[in-house]
């Protein structure tokens, strides 16, 4: 909550939750009173509940994601402990917590973490159900999984059931054990899933009919995947760097885990114990859990990093297996290569990230920052530990190094990101200057943080999209209708508006290249 809501999504989702709370209507999402059918309701419900408890604030908007990420960490620990040992559970939970994707999205007011958390819970319960020998327990675990998949559908749509089906189906095919479906209670589980989904989809269909089907399912499911309409294109290998950086600092160990899995090296432990036998099955399941979303979204015409957030609980299980292998003294050639590369990789990625930050955030100088020199020194110290085969010491050192860098990262980058990605300060000026009946208009440009921080005092179309004007004639028409409007525009447009003989333009504030104007029609 220390940072303002940023980007296009956080402010809009928080505003939808605020309006749900204000209208006492948990069914229909709106922005500025207009229908907003882009995402289902679970995230809005959680935010609205948080706002009811903590008040309307950035903290309240982001608290659900942080809370759910914490629950996922405990869930990963519980599954790891049940499948193998408490040590494996702790290692897997730590691997989930200490990566930029999990940590970053846990601090975001978006739909990504609710989807990831509910999918993770469902897939973990499904795996345990498939491994359970007692029919009554199998059925209860499967019903719990279906409940979670229903929540995933409420979090982000049909993807919440598509991935469980393809992951579980391919897992059963690989194991050639279709009989494992027996005793799951498929009918009861399906009923649970349908009842959970019906809690919101049923009323929405009853209220809004085809308009809901068209915008939510056709436009935001099918067209988003098959077309570039939503302007998030990317090459087919888009998610390869997302995976490599998102799994940081564990990426070399993740690669080692996949090499070990697909070359059959993991089978050397098959006869050691029942725990290792169960862990082998979890590795197969986690690999499919990782690969399927990457494969599916690589062919999508809309690509964003958050789409593959659900894979990172699975990568935590895979990486923790490699760490456990080293912890128990099983340093074969593959493991030694991974541990040699690991500190160099961490140092290189940290350095590249800092110089990328300089490109994106002009006020930042990496060569003068402790993160640069700390990362460089930590990489060389880690390399020394690796060459000395002090693998336990290296694991502990790298974990502590990453944890120690978090406060410095937050203190350094939060203010810079906030300045670049939020216009809360401009919104506060607008709130002080608003006169009765005035609206905030975007001229050639609009930032969605203005939506939340002015409580949606703009003009929205029937799809909940803010109306942006692009010509003086459009602005003249709106100003005549409303009498007076506030306008946010780039400074390059201010002169154009000031020269219009039909508009009275008053500069009332600004920030950088952006200005806040009061515009009235001249009689």
The reply to whether 85 and 199 lie within a common domain is yes
- Burial code of 475-503, b = ≥16 C-beta within 10 A, e = fewer? bbebbeebebbbbbbeeebbeebeebeeb
The answer as to whether 32 is a domain residue is no
The reply to whether 379 and 492 lie within a common domain is no
Alpha-carbon Rg for the chain, nearest whole angstrom, is 26
Residue range of the domain that includes 315:
37-330
The answer as to whether 302 is a domain residue is yes
Q: Which two tokens stand for residue 457?
A: 């005092």
Contact 444, 489 (CB under 8 A): yes
The reply to whether 159 and 242 lie within a common domain is yes
CATH of the domain at 445: 3.30.110
The reply to whether 298 and 406 lie within a common domain is no
Q: pTM for the complete prediction? A: 0.91
Tens-digit pLDDT profile for residues 23-37: 999 999 999 989 999
| pLDDT above 90 (res 65) | yes
Lowest mean pLDDT among 16-20, 240-244, 385-389: 385-389
The reply to whether 278 and 397 lie within a common domain is no
CB atoms near residue 355 (< 10 Å) = 12
| pLDDT above 50 (res 269) | no
- Classify residue 232 by its DSSP letter: -
Q: What percent of the chain has pLDDT over 70?
A: 92
Query: What is the pLDDT at residue 463?
Result: 79
| pLDDT above 70 (res 94) | yes
Residue 105 binned pLDDT confidence (cut-offs 50, 70, 90): very high
The reply to whether 384 and 292 lie within a common domain is no
Residues with Cβ within 8 Å of 31's Cβ and at least 6 positions away in sequence, in order, are 12, 15, 16, 19, 451, 456, 460, 464, 466
375/151: higher pLDDT: 151
Mean pLDDT of 45-68: 97
352/48: higher pLDDT: 48
Query: What is the pLDDT at residue 198?
Result: 97
Mean pLDDT of 511-517: 89
Contact 450, 488 (CB under 8 A): yes
| Torsion sign over Cα 78, 191, 186, 140 | positive
The reply to whether 402 and 292 lie within a common domain is no
The answer as to whether 399 is a domain residue is yes
| pLDDT above 70 (res 370) | no
Q: Closest Cα partner for 7 from 451, 413, 353?
A: 451
How far is it, in rounded angstroms, from Cα 227 to Cα 246? 26
The reply to whether 152 and 67 lie within a common domain is yes
| pLDDT above 80 (res 455) | yes
- Tally of domains within the chain: 3
Query: What is the pLDDT at residue 271?
Result: 47
Query: What is the pLDDT at residue 301?
Result: 92
List, in sequence order, every residue forming a beta bridge with 505; answer none if it has no partner. 519
The number of angstroms, rounded, from the C-alpha of 419 to the middle of its chain's C-alpha atoms is 21
In Å, what is the CA distance from 234 to each residue of 100, 207, 250, 370? 21, 36, 25, 34
Query: What is the pLDDT at residue 350?
Result: 73
Mean pLDDT of 134-160: 95
Tens-digit pLDDT profile for residues 321-367: 988 888 877 667 777 777 778 777 777 777 776 676 666 666 556 66
The C-alpha torsion from 359 through 360 and 363 to 364, rounded to 10°, is: -70
In Å, what is the CA distance from 300 to each residue of 161, 164, 296? 17, 18, 7
Residue with tokens 């440009």: 445
| Torsion sign over Cα 364, 69, 259, 395 | positive
The answer as to whether 18 is a domain residue is no
The reply to whether 441 and 416 lie within a common domain is no
List, in sequence order, every residue forming a beta bridge with 489; answer none if it has no partner. 443, 515
In Å, what is the CA distance from 298 to each residue of 85, 97, 216, 242, 307? 35, 25, 22, 11, 10
The reply to whether 242 and 381 lie within a common domain is no
Strand pairing report for 485-490 and 440-443: parallel
The answer as to whether 23 is a domain residue is no
Query: What is the pLDDT at residue 285?
Result: 96
The reply to whether 414 and 467 lie within a common domain is no
DSSP string, 140-189: HHHHHHHHHHHHHHHHHSTHHHHHHHHHHHHHHHHHT-GGGGTTS-HHHH
Task: Among 387, 421, 455, identify where a domain stops.
Answer: 421
DSSP string, 98-112: SSHHHHHHTTS-SSH
Task: Among 315, 330, 345, identify where a domain stops.
Answer: 330
Task: Among 421, 448, 476, identify where a domain stops.
Answer: 421
The reply to whether 375 and 312 lie within a common domain is no
The answer as to whether 284 is a domain residue is yes
Residue with tokens 């498939």: 130
Contact 79, 34 (CB under 8 A): no
The answer as to whether 5 is a domain residue is no
The answer as to whether 411 is a domain residue is yes
């Amino acid at each position: 909550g220390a940072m303002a809501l940023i980007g296009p999504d956080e402010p809009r989702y928080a505003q939808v939750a605020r309006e749900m709370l204000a209208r006492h209507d948990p069914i229909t999402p709106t922005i500025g009173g207009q229908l907003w059918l882009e995402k289902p309701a679970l995230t809005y419900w959680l935010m609205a509940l948080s706002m009811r408890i903590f008040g309307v604030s950035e903290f309240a908007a982001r608290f659900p994601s942080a809370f759910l990420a914490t629950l996922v960490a405990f869930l990963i620990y519980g599954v790891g402990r049940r499948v193998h040992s408490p040590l494996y559970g702790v290692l897997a939970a730590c691997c989930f917590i200490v990566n930029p994707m999990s940590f970053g999205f846990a601090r975001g007011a978006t739909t990504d973490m609710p989807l990831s958390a509910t999918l993770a819970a469902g897939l973990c319960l499904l795996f345990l159900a498939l491994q359970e020998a007692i029919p009554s327990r199998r059925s209860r675990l499967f019903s719990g999984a279906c409940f979670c998949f229903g929540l995933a559908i409420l979090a982000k749509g049909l993807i919440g059931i598509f991935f469980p089906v393809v992951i579980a189906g391919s897992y059963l095919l690989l194991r050639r054990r279709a009989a494992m479906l027996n005793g799951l209670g498929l009918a009861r589980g399906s009923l649970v899933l349908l009842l959970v989904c019906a809690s919101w989809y049923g009323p929405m269909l009853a209220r809004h009919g085809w308009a809901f089907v068209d915008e939510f399912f056709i436009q935001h499911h099918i067209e988003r995947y098959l077309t570039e309409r939503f302007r998030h294109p990317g090459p087919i290998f888009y998610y390869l760097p997302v995976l490599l950086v998102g799994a940081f600092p564990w990426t070399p160990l993740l690669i080692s885990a996949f090499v070990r899995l697909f070359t059959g090296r993991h089978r050397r432990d098959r006869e050691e114990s029942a725990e290792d036998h169960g862990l082998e099955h979890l590795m197969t399941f986690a690999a499919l859990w990782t690969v399927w979303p990457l494969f599916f979204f690589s062919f999508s015409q809309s690509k964003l990093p958050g789409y593959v957030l659900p894979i990172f609980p699975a990568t935590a299980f895979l990486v923790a297996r490699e760490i456990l292998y080293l912890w128990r003294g099983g340093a074969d050639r593959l493991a030694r290569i991974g541990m040699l590369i690991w500190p160099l990789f961490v140092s290189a990625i940290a350095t590249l990230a800092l110089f990328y930050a300089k490109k994106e955030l002009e006020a930042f100088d990496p060569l003068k920052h402790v993160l640069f020199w700390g990362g460089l020194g930590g990489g060389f110290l880690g390399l020394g530990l690796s060459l000395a085969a002090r693998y336990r010491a290296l694991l502990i050192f790298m974990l502590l190094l990453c944890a120690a860098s978090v406060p410095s990262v937050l203190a350094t980058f939060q203010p810079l990101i906030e300045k670049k990605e939020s216009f809360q300060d401009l919104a506060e000026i607008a709130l002080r200057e608003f006169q009765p009946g005035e609206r905030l208009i975007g001229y050639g440009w609009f930032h969605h943080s203005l939506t939340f921080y002015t409580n949606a005092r703009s003009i929205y179309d029937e799809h909940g999209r803010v109306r942006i004007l692009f010509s003086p004639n459009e602005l003249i028409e709106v100003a005549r209708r409303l009498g007076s409007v506030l306008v946010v525009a780039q400074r390059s447009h201010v002169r154009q508006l000031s020269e219009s003989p039909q508009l009275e333009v008053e500069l009332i504030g600004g920030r950088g290249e952006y200005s806040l104007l009061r515009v009235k029609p001249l009689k």
